[in-house]
Amino acid sequence: MEDSQIIDLLFERSEQAIAVLLEKYEKLCRKTAVNILRNEEDVRECLNDVWLAVWNAIPPHSPDNLKAFLLRIVRNTAVKRYHANTAVKRNSFYDVALQELADCLPDANDVEQVLAGTELENLINSFLATQKSENRIIFVRRYYFSDSIPQIAERMHLSQNNVSVRLNRIRKALRIFLEKEGVEI
């Protein structure tokens, strides 16, 4: 079924829409949630929250790209659950990926004072637009979808060392780009 038809079903408040969403996107959503949460029970609860969030969001929203809309909800829901679960514990898999970016992004408090979150997002998107397609994919897979370096290496048909080196170079270039744009790091 086409995404536009699924959206129409959601606007009609047809429960069939959720069944179709599950059939079409559950595997992709589960993979995204697993990469962040790494716990099956948390993943199940996260996905249940996602289906409810989609049901409540459409209508009134009518996304142009249902897949991207859905993945954003999955990621945001998983990250919220992750932070709630690990408020005391640190050094988990997801923290390692976030720590890699810590040296190229401003402190969260500084971001609120210096730039609105959307401005920083726009700067990062502008930076990524200057990168080769393969590097953009590697960056997004690591820092948005939380793929591990071995997963990225397998997906991109590269060595793990190559992926690590590229990520390091991309982070350095991002830091330089943000500093040139006036972001204090």
pTM for the complete prediction?
A: 0.64
The reported pLDDT for the residue numbered 52 is 93
Helix ranges (H only) for 61-148 are: 66-85, 93-102, 108-114, 117-129, 133-143
Q: At a CB cut-off of 8 Å and minimum separation 6, what does 173 contact?
A: 127, 131
Mean pLDDT value across residues 118-127: 85
66 close to 8: Cβ distance less than 8 angstroms: no
Q: Which of 18-32, 87-101, 132-146 has the lowest mean pLDDT?
A: 87-101
The reported pLDDT for the residue numbered 16 is 94
End-to-end CA, the chain: 46
d(CA 32, CA 29): 5
Residue 36 identity: I
- Give the fold, CATH level 3, of 93-180: Arc Repressor Mutant, subunit A (1.10.10)
More confident residue, 58 or 101: 58
More confident residue, 108 or 25: 25
- pLDDT at residue 110 greater than cutoff 50: no
Q: Which of 3-7, 80-84, 126-130 has the lowest mean pLDDT?
A: 80-84
- What does 43-64 look like in DSSP terms, one character per residue? HHHHHHHHHHHHHHHTTT---S
C-alpha dist (Å) from residue 86 to 12, 30, 147? 39, 20, 19
User: What is the tens place of the pLDDT at every residue in 34-89?
Assistant: 988 888 999 999 999 999 999 999 988 899 999 999 999 999 999 888 888 776 55
Confidence at 146, pLDDT banded by 50, 70, 90: confident
d(CA 6, CA 123): 33
Which uninterrupted H or E stretch holds 6? helix 3-11
66 close to 9: Cβ distance less than 8 angstroms: no
- pLDDT at residue 109 greater than cutoff 80: no
At the top level of CATH, the class of 3-85 is: mainly alpha
Q: Of 131, 128, 130, 137, nearest to 158 (Cα)?
A: 137
Tell me the backbone φ, ψ of residue 103, rounded to 5 degrees.
Answer: -80, -15
The reported pLDDT for the residue numbered 38 is 86
Domain boundaries, the chain: 3-85, 93-180
